[in-house]
């Protein structure tokens, strides 16, 4: 059985700073995952359709422009509408700690702030995958 974790890395909204997203995409590839990276300026509709067609296990959203309180819930809500809430969403970028409870309430499973290591993200992924199986 060839079971591999598939992850979508996406940048919603107008923010064009993709250094972090590209780094994470590559790092996750190096960790053995299959990563679909769709570039900047994605709409929530496009992100969710992509997540569904690619049957990803996770969607990682990167945003540095401060629009996360709007953009991230747009994605989680649309996933729920389409019956795809088993796809877990995590986020990164410039996200003040104060906003994290709100985002988690809206369905974002984890927020990885500045200083996050790749290991923290892969640990999270492995934990969630193990929980899914159980």
Partner 1 sequence: MTSRIAKAIIEGNPRLIAKGISTVERGGEAAYELLGEIYGVGKSYILGITGPAGAGKSSLINALIPYLKNNFERIGILAVDPSSPFTGGAILGDRIRMIEHAVDSRIFIRSMASRGHLGGVSAATKDAAKILEAAGFDLIIIETVGVGQDEVEVVGLSDTVVLIQVPGLGDDIQVMKSGIMEIGDVFVINKADREGADRIARYIQSMLEENFSGLGYIPPVVLAQAVNDIGLDTIVEKIIAHRAYIEKSGEIEKRITKRIEDDIESILRFRVESFLKSRLDFDSRLPIWVERIRKGEETPFTLAKKLGGEILPNLMEN
Partner 2 sequence: MEKHHDDCHDHNCGQNPDCNAGFIRKKRAFLEAEKARWEQDSVKPLLGKAPERSDLIDYEGNVVERLAIPKDFDCAYEDKLGFPGEYPFTRGVYPTGYRGRLWTMRQYAGFGTAEESNKRYKFLLEQGQTGLSVAFDLPTQIGYDSDHKMSIGEVGKVGVAIDSLEDMETLFAEIPLDKVSTSMTINSTAAVLLAMYIAVGEKQGVSSKELRGTIQNDILKEYIARGTYIYPPRPSMRIITNIFEYCTQHVPKWNTISISGYHIREAGSSAVQEVAFTLADGIEYCKTAISTGLDIDSFAGRLSFFFNSHNDLLEEVAKFRAARRMWAKIIKEQFNAKDPKSMMLRFHTQTAGSTLTAQQPDNNIIRVAIQTLAAVLGGTQSLHTNSRDEALSLPTEDSVRIALRTQQIVASESGAANTIDPLAGSYFVEQLTDKIEAEAFDYIEKIEKLGGMISAIEKGYVQKEIQDSAYKYQRSIESGERIIVGVNKYRVEKEAPKELLKVDPSIRDVQVRKLEALRSRRNNDAVEKHLELLRKAAQSDENLMPHIIDAVREYATIGEISDVLRDVFGEYKEQVIL
**130 scored as a contact of partner 1 (CB under 8 A):** no
CA–CA gap between residue 97 and residue 129 (Å, rounded) = 25
Site of interaction with partner 2 (CB under 8 A): 13-19, 22-23, 25-27, 37, 39-41, 43, 65-71, 94, 96, 98, 113-115, 117-119
Give the range of 11-19, 38-46, 70-78, 111-119 binding partner 1 by CB under 8 A. 38-46
**With CB cut-offs between 5 and 8 Å by kind, which of partner 2, partner 1, none does residue 28 bind?**
partner 1
Shortest distance (Å) from residue 20 CB to partner 2: 9
Distance CA(7)–CA(35), nearest Å, equals 5
Q: Which long-range contacts (CB under 8 A, 24 or more apart) does 103-107 make?
A: 103/68, 103/69, 103/72, 103/73, 106/72, 106/73, 106/76, 106/77, 107/73, 107/76, 107/77, 107/79, 107/80
Minimum CB distance to partner 2 smaller for 6 or for 132: 6
Establish if 80 lies at the interface with partner 1 (CB under 8 A): no
């Amino acid at each position: 059985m060839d079971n591999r974790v598939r992850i979508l890395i996406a940048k919603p909204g107008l923010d064009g700073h993709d250094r972090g997203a590209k780094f994470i995409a590559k790092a996750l590839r190096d960790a053995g995952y299959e990563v679909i990276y769709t570039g900047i300026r994605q709409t929530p509709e496009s992100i969710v359709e992509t997540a569904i067609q690619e049957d990803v296990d996770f969607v990682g959203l990167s945003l540095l422009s401060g629009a996360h309180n709007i953009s991230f819930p747009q994605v989680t809500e649309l996933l729920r509408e389409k019956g795809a809430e088993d796809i877990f969403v995590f986020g990164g970028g410039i996200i003040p700690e104060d906003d994290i409870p709100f985002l988690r309430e809206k369905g974002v499973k984890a927020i990885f702030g500045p200083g996050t290591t790749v290991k923290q993200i892969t640990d999270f992924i492995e934990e969630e995958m193990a929980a899914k199986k159980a």
